[in-house]
Structures are given as structure tokens and as C-alpha cells.
């Protein structure tokens, strides 16, 4: 089984986490199943950037992003070449190292 290493994030997983993943599962679903509550304001429909992550290792093992995801990523805070939307990134047989950015752009939560 592939593993995902979530690097430490001050709020979501302060100590980081190493978790098992199932091929075909999204990075977001793996995180949520393991108590790492990455925000996903559009309910995983690729209509926002709140689940933006940076794939520090294993990026090239993921299926390539499609045009819709690329368009959404252009709006993400802290975009890097290895940025992906975790709701669209499906696990292959390779291990991944995932960095959850400190900030997201979310008008819903910012207005509260």
C-alpha cells in the first residue's frame, strides 16, 4: 500500500502524519479519513482552491492535472510548480509527501 506523509501543519496536523492510502483514492479523502481536516469548500467538485496542497515528493507519479484543475490552481494562494488540488489528486502506487499550505483563499470562511 502506498503511504502519504503529511508534513507538519500548525493547525491541521502539528506533528505531521504518515498514513496508508489506497490506489485511486484522492489525497483529500486519505487526509479526511485520517483526521486531517483539509478544507474543501466546494465539496470536492474542483470549483475552489481551499484543498490546495503541494506535493513535495511523488508529484510526477500522480496523473496529470486537467485544464479545470489548472485554471483553479491559478487562483490558489502560494502556488508552486508542484501544487495540486487534493480533491483531484488520485493516489497511484507511489508514496507521496504532502505539504498543506498555511493559508487558503476561502471567501466563505473569511466572511465569518
What's the CATH number where 16 sits? 3.10.20.30
Four-residue CA torsion sign, 38, 29, 40, 105:
positive
Cα–Cα distance measured from residue 74 to residue 26, given in angstroms and rounded to the nearest whole number: 20
pTM: 0.91
pLDDT at 15 (0 to 100): 97
Q: What is the pLDDT of residue 103?
A: 76
Domain that holds residue 52: 3-110
Give residue-wise pLDDT tens across range 35-89: 999 999 999 999 999 999 999 999 999 989 999 999 999 999 899 999 999 999 9
Measured between its terminal Cα atoms, the distance across the chain in Å is 40
The number of domains in the chain is: 1
User: Where are any strands of DSSP class E within the chain?
Assistant: 3-6, 17-20, 52-57, 83-85, 96-99
Amino acid at each position: 500500500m502506498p503511504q502519504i506523509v503529511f508534513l507538519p501543519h500548525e493547525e491541521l496536523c502539528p506533528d505531521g502524519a504518515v498514513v496508508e492510502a489506497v490506489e485511486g483514492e484522492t489525497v483529500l479523502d486519505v487526509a479526511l479519513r485520517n483526521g486531517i481536516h483539509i478544507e474543501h469548500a466546494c465539496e470536492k467538485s474542483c470549483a475552489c482552491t481551499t484543498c490546495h496542497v503541494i506535493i513535495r515528493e511523488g508529484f510526477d507519479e500522480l496523473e496529470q492535472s486537467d485544464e479545470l484543475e489548472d485554471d483553479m490552481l491559478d487562483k490558489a494562494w502560494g502556488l508552486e510548480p508542484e501544487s495540486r488540488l487534493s480533491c483531484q489528486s488520485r493516489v497511484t502506487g507511489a508514496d507521496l509527501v504532502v505539504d498543506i499550505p498555511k493559508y487558503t483563499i476561502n471567501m466563505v470562511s473569511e466572511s465569518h
